[in-house]
Amino acid sequence: MRRLVPVVLFAVLAAVPFLPLGQEANFVLLLVSRVMVFGLAALSLDLLLGVGGMVSFGHAAYLAIGAYAVAVLDANDITDVGVVLAVAMGAAGVFALATGAIALRTRGVNFIMITLAFAQMVFFAFGALSAYGGDDGYSLAARNTVLGWPLLKGRGYYWACLAVLVVAYLLCRMLAASRFGRALRAVKQNPARAAAMGFNPVALQLVAMVVGAMLCSVAGVLLANGAEFVSPAYGTWQRSGDLLIMVILGGAGSLHGAIFGSAFVLLLEEGLGRATEHWRLVFGPLLVLCVIFFRGGLAGIGGRRG
């Protein structure tokens, strides 16, 4: 039955546009779209953390890279989403390859701090781009198009987020279940033993970092299109922390738990924000209680994670 949880999750997401939402329809669809975008970003981090055992505190850098790929190309009148995705994924992949080759020479806290340092470099670099608004950000002229068609407007954006999320989830499940995924889990448990078995721990983890970065950059592209705005704030260490919270709260290693974590965090923020301006005073203790009582994360409620 637990194997059906992701199916039910995606079925619920697919049913949302058909609910009688009334005047709140546009707001609800944008909110759930945001949940799916951050669910995609958290899913890409879960591939590193849950499967590969790499605690990255700079994953939001790839989110910012994807978003700024939209901004830079928009400023040059290039809006086709195919071109934008190719540039975003290529840039994120190259950055992950270069920084990962350095970061993976370390372990533990040192790895965390190096990923944080590289992410801060990205944050300050984008903040210095005066041609794209600097610290004030950049407003898009329009959303990206698909072969010239404005398919990312209205409900088309919602369906695009859902389709990308489903494809990314299936890809991550396939990778986790493959020989590569099993080897990566072995490296997570005992790098020395994995190396003795003939695996190259650094190469495996580096591939995982590149794949995770490219998936997260897609989330950045979707985020920029949804907000029609790009800001250096997308790459802050606080955003990386949010993604870590989503993964851990949802259940690291479960993959679909990252989506649950995204939904829980964003919907709770929205609900508490409407109730009180001091919502963070309530939000923090609630997260602590969830971590204490749901050791396996939201995906582990009721038994073993799937």
Q: 145 has which bridge partners?
A: 80
- Rounded mean pLDDT of the chain? 89
The pLDDT score that the predictor gives to residue 305 is 42
Per DSSP, which regions of the chain are E strands?
A: 138-139, 229-230
First to last CA, the chain: 9
For residues 181 and 214, give the distance between their C-alpha atoms in angstroms, rounded to a whole number: 17
For residues 154 and 161, give the distance between their C-alpha atoms in angstroms, rounded to a whole number: 12
Name 285's Cβ contacts closer than 8 Å, sequence gap at least 6: none
**Where do the domains of the chain lie, and which CATH numbers do they carry?**
2-13+26-300 (1.10.3470)
Tens digits of residue pLDDT in 115-160:
999 999 999 999 998 888 888 999 998 899 988 888 888 889 999 9
Name 183's Cβ contacts closer than 8 Å, sequence gap at least 6: 194, 199, 204
Tens digits of residue pLDDT in 74-91:
999 999 999 999 999 999
Tens digits of residue pLDDT in 155-188:
899 999 999 999 999 999 999 999 999 999 999 9
The pLDDT score that the predictor gives to residue 301 is 64
Residue 286 has pLDDT above 80, yes or no: no
3-state helix, strand, coil in the chain (%, to 5): 75, 5, 20
Q: Which pair of tokens denotes residue 305?
A: 């994670």
Q: Which residue has the tokens 């922390």?
A: 241
Q: Which residue has the tokens 């939402």?
A: 21
Q: 139 has which bridge partners?
A: 229
Mean pLDDT of 9-38: 91
For residues 299 and 91, give the distance between their C-alpha atoms in angstroms, rounded to a whole number: 32
Predicted TM-score (pTM) of the model is 0.91
